[in-house]
Structure 1
Amino acid sequence: MSDPDETLPRHDLPGGRPGPGFTCVFSNPPVPVVQSARVAAGPPPNPDFAARRTSAGWRDLDPREFDRLRRLVGAAGGQGDGALATMSDEQIARSLGVVVTEGGRTQVLAGAVLLFGRPEAVHRHVPQHEAAIQVIGPETGEPGAAGEPGARMNDFFRWPLLRLTEELLARFRARNPGREIRYELVRTSVPAYAEQAFRELLANAFVHRDYRAVGAVHTQWTSEGIEITSPGGFVDAGRAPHTSALSVRPPRPRSPLLADAFRRAGITERSGRGIRRAYAAQLAGGLAGPDFHRSTADCVIAVLPAQEADLAFAHFALGRSSAGSPLELPDLLVLTTALRDGPLRTADAAELLGTGKEQARRQLTGMVGRGLLAIDGDRGTRVWAPSPDVRRALREAASQLRPRPAPGPRPATGSRPATGSRASSEPRTTSEPNPTSEPNPASGARAASGAQAAPGI
């Protein structure tokens, strides 16, 4: 007897005696329908969309995309999986787990199409996949034409993920100016947005999006910052009580296959702590951390806020790093919040760090021991504030970064300086042009007081 059709609802026959010619004999008690369905169903399907079988063949994959992966691994400087660079195309696909062999036949999974597929194959086998990069005009709130000021991009792509990531990163770099600062002999550029943060958030959007949902991954430049939107809410269908607490959540990708491929390619950090790195990169550059508070159950919205970099704090963080005692993410979260909002209670720090009060107290006490915080408060209420050493370092950084005054006009040729004027009697040297790294003198005060500016792009 063939197995019953489980695709239709089952109904018990009405009571009564079986009709003529039918004899029902049960040697054992009947098996409930629910139990039969459970046995016939087998193991639950893999929730990873990239593990889904497709009708694509090997010819739907582009050899140039495998070469792109090898180049990315080589350029990652040891961060990627160097073994991939020595493999053949088929070996790479099998190593990443995006092709399987069943009955002697190679089965191409959706992950292979997303990573290495030709554009027409991506469109055919993963029709929901699309990405856009737009610059939103401040007047209309809509993307404009190529020649319009303030709105020069409105491009949509159905490319494989590695090619798409490279393209969007290149466009990000072209629109992300930096200002150079120096600590002793160490020079670094402080950009408008940390590239590491943008890279991690972009990769998260591709790895964590719901490829069953209709919609594109949008990267939009607005007056408020860079906004990256991806279809599908957080994997655990909930949000942290404080957006910075996302940085301490354990990694839980919607697609482990894609997450592993991005890490082994060297695009993202291999520990799976991309949000932590995004926060740390932004805060260490004197910028605001990523903001996720506009996310919903249907989409994740990550925003890098538009904010003028606090170069004094960036100089302070660079100095700590050069001295061999870099600021870790909890240090950056607590310091920047205390400088902006004032002294913190232990409960405030616990909410900020996404931990319990006891663990937060240990973190704060350790920062006191390293000279970053001081204990303040009265009437038995303990609060934690930036230490005098930190405030002094910020003032000194602001003083060092203050632009030099422009030289006055030279005296006319042949004229004699006034007698007794020391300034006019000294020989004048040609002035060096002010480097672009020298900030507004208010930046140091802003770091100490916590005031933040948010100009448009």
Structure 2
Amino acid sequence: MLAADLERLIGGGESYSLEFKRDINDSELTTNVVCLANGDGGLLLIGVDDDGAVIGARPRHGKATEPERLPALVANTTSPPVNVTASTVDVGGKTVIVIEVPKQTSLVSTTSGVYVRRALDVNGDAQCLPMQPHDAIARLASIGQRDLSAMPVPDATSDDLGEIEIGRFRESVRTIGDRTLAELSTEDLISALGFRTVDGDLVVGAVLMFGTEQALRRFVPTHEVAFQVLDQSSGVQANRIQRIPLVRAMTELSSAIAPFNLEEEVEHGLLRVGLPRYSDVAIRETIANALVHRNYGLVGQVRVAIENDVLSVTSPGAFPDGITIHNLLSVPPKPRNPLLADAFKRAGLVERTGRGINRVFAGQLELGRPAPDYSRSTNDWVEVRMRSGPADQELAAFIASVRSRNAGMVDLRFLQVLHEVRQERRITSDRTAEVLQVSVDEARAELNKLVEQGLLEARGERKGRSYHLASSVYEQLGEQAEYVRTRGFDTLQHEQMILTYVDRYDRISRSGVVELCQLKPAQATRLLGRMVDAGKLDMRGQKRGAYYVLAQP
């Protein structure tokens, strides 16, 4: 690591993945490595004070520090062994020892049995805390090593399950789910869902799905759901906290949102399109995701809140290992509680392929609403926010017409690109890759497919290539003038680039215009001809020797 890079890191202060230590012995070094390993990994910097002042690390091996010896020390004193990398960096004449701790896929302790974990205090400051048994369970769940919903509850009996809740589940499977479950006896249903171990014990999933309030309070005390309605002017309008089984929770939370999910209506030719604030699919899938994928090893509520024009759903626990806000639309599904996820799928309550998140995005975008926002998610919770408006009514009506022509099918990627181009007027393959969470090559193929379908038009060449809505799309949106402005923008921009270049360098050739504006040779010839006709440029020379200068008054 370069000294300048390290100085920038230190200047940002300690964080969840960055720890400063003024001076520590070997045992403390190992404990701090374990702490970072039981988080997201990160850097341990020795020779830096808590306030970021570089003090310099003392020599650890006689008169110097031999960084190549530190990985062996750590590997020999951690269980399972953590393979760190170590180096020394000179910062302002002082030595800082840099130990890089990779993210782990298992719990880590010191060989003497010390378990510590990374955490943030109420002020957002990072710290290392002893790992309690419930912390270990939560950590195992967060890295996908333990399905908490499959853990046995030896003291739970069939009396702890409510017949009403089992009946609610039966009704769901009978109407929209796996009908083979509907006629099973209660005991056979419990077994078919995997809610009883080979030893005959009920598991946590059974209590969460069908348990009485008393059973939930006793066996899964971390589980609560909350519904809140907040208003800036009148304050709290609703604040209901419950400990109820999951199918009922999903039903009641969805119903609680309904009175606030007002609908507007737009007409597009013969089509009459209803635009609720939030898509029914998005409501159902976000609530189900929160209930199914939350970390039940952590204390906290699944919270559904409406505050002014925002519906937010928050659940305890970070995204499952390997999933981030930058890839959640493209990585394979990875349920934190597979047993619960399977029960919800068989009940028909969620998308069977596990791609419910894609349906959440598609549901909001089809309404002409902004895409769901996960940017407030942290290492402690996942939060999705959906803004209700204002809706782009013309765009929603156009999407509805596309859906009607395509037998009710609209591709999510098409919706994402359409919204981005609508907002920014044009899009590049690099930006498309960011929006779709795919490679640039895959993004380019998606854009070319939309060009072939007559939905986009391409402008420019190579790196300067961009895409905007086709004239037929602008016509259907009733915005023909916007198409003219979008096309005209390119010409004006190219002319200004050429005039600026010639003013600076006295002349430009056709090949220079091709390179500068990323145009085809024929396009460059036509553009230069128009500028000559308009009295902006004069042509000098002939054929391949021709070049262009600023026109003389």
Q: 1:100 aligns with which of 193, 197, 201?
A: 197
Question: Which AA in structure 2 matches 1:313?
Answer: L
Q: 2:148 aligns with which of 37, 49, 54?
A: 49
Distance in 2 (alpha carbons) for counterparts of 1:275 and 1:379: 34
Give the 3-state SS of the residue equivalent to 2:206 in structure 1.
helix
- 1:230-379 equivalence runs, <5 A: 230-236=315-321, 239-241=324-326, 245-324=327-406, 326-377=409-460
Matched, 1:90 2:194: no
Native 8 Å contact 1:276 1:329 kept in 2 = yes
Q: Aligned-pair distance for 1:85?
A: 1.5
Q: Aligned-pair distance for 1:174?
A: 2.0
Question: Which AA in structure 2 matches 1:232?
Answer: G
Distance in 2 (alpha carbons) for counterparts of 1:229 and 1:84: 31
Q: Aligned-pair distance for 1:101?
A: 3.4
Matched, 1:383 2:480: no
Distance in 1 (alpha carbons) for counterparts of 2:223 and 2:194: 20
Distance in 2 (alpha carbons) for counterparts of 1:201 and 1:193: 11
Shift in CA distance, 60/116, structure 1 to aligned 2, threshold 3 Å = same
TM-score, length-scaled by structure 2 = 0.59
Q: Which runs of 5+ in 1 are unaligned?
A: 1-33, 36-43, 140-148, 399-443, 450-457
Question: Which AA in structure 2 matches 1:360?
Answer: A
Distance in 1 (alpha carbons) for counterparts of 2:305 and 2:384: 11
Give the structure 2 partner of residue 69 of structure 1.
169
Question: Which AA in structure 1 matches 2:259?
Answer: A
Distance in 1 (alpha carbons) for counterparts of 2:462 and 2:219: 67
Distance in 1 (alpha carbons) for counterparts of 2:181 and 2:274: 32
Q: Which runs of 5+ in 2 are unaligned?
A: 1-78, 81-139, 487-553
Give the 3-state SS of the residue equivalent to 2:420 in structure 1.
helix
Native 8 Å contact 2:152 2:197 kept in 1 = no
Q: Aligned-pair distance for 1:247?
A: 1.8
Give the structure 2 partner of residue 215 of structure 1.
300
Could you list the structure 1 runs, at least 4 aligned residues long, displaced by more than 6 angstroms after superposition.
Answer: none
Distance in 2 (alpha carbons) for counterparts of 1:346 and 1:380: 9
Spell out, residue by residue over 1:202-221, the C-alpha distance to the aligned partner (whole angstroms, 9 max, x if none).
11111111101111111111
Shift in CA distance, 185/344, structure 1 to aligned 2, threshold 3 Å = closer
Q: 2:224 aligns with which of 130, 139, 149?
A: 130
- 1:159-174 equivalence runs, <5 A: 159-174=244-259
Distance in 1 (alpha carbons) for counterparts of 2:245 and 2:301: 13
Range moving further from structure 2, 161-170 or 321-330? 321-330
Question: Which AA in structure 2 matches 1:351?
Answer: E
Native 8 Å contact 2:323 2:331 kept in 1 = no
Shift in CA distance, 376/327, structure 1 to aligned 2, threshold 3 Å = farther
Give the 3-state SS of the residue equivalent to 1:152 in structure 2.
strand
Q: Aligned-pair distance for 1:342?
A: 2.5
Distance in 2 (alpha carbons) for counterparts of 1:303 and 1:56: 37
Higher relative contact order (CA 8 A, sep 6+): 1
Range moving further from structure 2, 217-226 or 114-123? 217-226
Native 8 Å contact 1:286 1:310 kept in 2 = yes
Question: Percent identity of the aligned residues?
Answer: 36
Distance in 2 (alpha carbons) for counterparts of 1:367 and 1:352: 15
Spell out, residue by residue over 1:211-255, the C-alpha distance to the aligned partner (whole angstroms, 9 max, x if none).
0111111111112501111110011165243xxx42222110100
Q: Aligned-pair distance for 1:185?
A: 5.4
- 1:10-49 equivalence runs, <5 A: 47-49=146-148
Give the structure 2 partner of residue 119 of structure 1.
213
Give the 3-state SS of the residue equivalent to 2:464 in structure 1.
coil
Question: Which AA in structure 2 matches 1:239?
Answer: T
Q: Aligned-pair distance for 1:190?
A: 1.3
Give the structure 1 partner of residue 84 of structure 2.
none
Give the 3-state SS of the residue equivalent to 1:190 in structure 2.
strand
Give the structure 2 partner of residue 404 of structure 1.
none
Matched, 1:58 2:58: no
Give the structure 1 partner of residue 103 of structure 2.
none
Native 8 Å contact 2:325 2:375 kept in 1 = no
* RMSD between aligned residues: 2.6
Give the 3-state SS of the residue equivalent to 2:389 in structure 1.
coil
Give the 3-state SS of the residue equivalent to 1:72 in structure 2.
helix
Q: 1:394 aligns with which of 458, 463, 477?
A: 477
Q: Aligned-pair distance for 1:74?
A: 3.2
Give the 3-state SS of the residue equivalent to 2:223 in structure 1.
coil
TM-score, length-scaled by structure 1 = 0.71
Spell out, residue by residue over 1:294-322, the C-alpha distance to the aligned partner (whole angstroms, 9 max, x if none).
10011101111131222211111111111
Q: Aligned-pair distance for 1:131?
A: 0.6
Distance in 2 (alpha carbons) for counterparts of 1:329 and 1:378: 27
Which one has the bigger strand percentage?
2
Q: Aligned-pair distance for 1:388?
A: 1.1
Q: Aligned-pair distance for 1:327?
A: 2.8
Native 8 Å contact 1:247 1:279 kept in 2 = no
Question: Which AA in structure 2 matches 1:167?
Answer: E
Distance in 2 (alpha carbons) for counterparts of 1:216 and 1:229: 8
Give the structure 2 partner of residue 81 of structure 1.
178
